[in-house]
């Protein structure tokens, strides 16, 4: 919980600053982080549900904030609970779209790279008898597992900060 002393904003203005993390879980040998590393997604949403993330840079915003003690935080959270929940629901929808796009991009990149590897290995096998069929099958299996695990990628809320413009 933080307060923002900014005379350009009306008293009681509320922002919810959220950080989500997109990640895929799989055995290390699949190297999913090559295609989808743990990726933070930040959303700054106001009381009306407007996404202000691209308009308000994190570092400059963060420098303007003043931390609030635990007692005051507890009171403010209780007072703002319904508003925060509504904002949170809107932010979830915004993030869900971006996560789907991010995962689809990772799946496409993995598919392209692994198919290319399969084609290369099969072409190499045609001229090199030392390439075994089980190597090609292992790569095909790896390809399938990578795509399946990327398909199961998920996202979670990692951090939330409430920002309020106080009385003057």
Q: Is the pLDDT of residue 168 over 80?
A: no
Q: Is the pLDDT of residue 74 over 90?
A: no
Residue with tokens 């931390």: 67
* pLDDT tens digits along 3-58: 998 888 888 889 999 999 999 999 999 999 999 999 999 999 998 888 899 898 88
What average pLDDT is seen over the chain?
A: 91
pTM value is 0.84
Measured in degrees and rounded to the nearest 5, phi and psi for residue 10 equal -70, 150
Mean of pLDDT values over 96-100:
92
What six digits make up the tokens of 62?
């963060």
Least-confidence region, from 34-48, 60-74, 120-134, 148-162: 60-74
Q: How confident is the model at residue 120 (pLDDT cuts 50, 70, 90)?
A: very high
Mean of pLDDT values over 88-103:
90
Q: Give me the DSSP letters along 14-64.
A: EEEEEEEEEE----GGG-GGGTS--EEEEEEEETT--B-TTTS-HHHHHHH
């Amino acid at each position: 919980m933080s307060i923002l002393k900014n005379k350009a904003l009306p008293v009681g203005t509320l922002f919810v600053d959220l950080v989500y993390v997109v990640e895929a879980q799989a055995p290390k040998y699949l190297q999913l982080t090559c295609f989808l590393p743990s990726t933070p997604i930040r959303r700054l949403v106001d009381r009306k549900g407007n996404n202000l993330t691209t308009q308000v840079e994190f570092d400059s915003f963060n420098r303007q904030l003043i931390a609030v003690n635990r007692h005051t935080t507890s009171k403010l959270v209780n007072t703002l609970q319904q508003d925060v929940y509504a904002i949170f629901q809107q932010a979830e929808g915004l993030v869900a779209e971006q996560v789907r796009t991010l995962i689809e991009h990772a799946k496409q990149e993995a598919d392209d790279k692994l198919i290319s590897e399969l084609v290369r290995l099969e072409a190499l096998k045609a001229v090199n008898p030392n390439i075994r069929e089980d190597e090609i099958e292992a790569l095909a299996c790896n390809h399938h597992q990578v795509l399946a695990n990327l398909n199961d990628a998920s996202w979670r809320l990692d951090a939330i900060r409430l920002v309020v413009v106080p009385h003057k």
